[in-house]
Structure 1
Amino acid sequence: MNFPELDTETIDRILEMAWEDRTPFEAIERQFGLLEKQVIALMRREMQASSFKMWRQRVSGRQTKHLKEREFVAGRFRSQNQKGS
């Protein structure tokens, strides 16, 4: 899968955001331009197989990882490192 040029610090931040339960894939796309499929491919590439498998099981079907499936809209904490509105 093709990725834009990403430095180590950016990759680390993307991995951190993907691990966070409350950070949706849309926030990663808005900040770094990576689609959900690209984030999954990056996680697969950068993580050990067992860690990736555990992460996929945890985020699969998780409502908080997709803005459209969230029950809440506002009033939740957002990291100062996260760009966008």
Structure 2
Amino acid sequence: MNEKSKQLTPEDIDRVIAMAWEDRTPFSAIEFQFGLAEADVIKLMKRELKLSSWKRWRARVQGRKTKHVAKRTEEVGRFKSKAQKQITYNKISKKKY
């Protein structure tokens, strides 16, 4: 793993795992936000998930077009998770429940 992955907080690791499970979040978005290449995400997922969960995740994302920007069709737009905080005027907004 690269140096960046060793500096992730538990909250960052949880967010990377959530983004990796999301079908429409490409690996390039994870790399942009956290500095982890696809291979690093795979290693992180293997390290953090139970074996059965990791196998299910790998089977799910392997070859999935939506996880790779270059393979996407134009119908797949940008996806924003409800767990992702909104950024307004360079300030992070808090969710209001």
- Same fold at TM > 0.5: yes
How many residues in Structure 1 have an aligned counterpart in Structure 2? Answer: 83
TM-score after normalising by structure 2? 0.76
Deviation per residue, 1:12-67 (Å, 9 max, x gap): 00000000000000000000000000000000000000100010001000000000
Larger RCO of the pair (alpha carbons < 8 Å, separation 6+) = 1
2:9 to 2, 7, 10: 7
Pairwise CA RMSD: 2.1
Q: Which runs of 5+ in 2 are unaligned?
A: 87-97
* Percent of matched pairs sharing the same residue: 57
Q: Which has the larger strand fraction?
A: 2
Matched, 1:37 2:39: yes
State the secondary structure of the residue aligned to 1:6.
coil
CA distance in 1, matches of 2:55, 2:76: 31
TM-score by length of 1: 0.86
| Runs of 4+ with >6 A deviation | none
Q: Which residue is equivalent to 2:89?
A: none
Which of the pair has more CA radius of gyration?
Answer: 2
Ranges in structure 1 where 5+ consecutive residues have no aligned partner: none
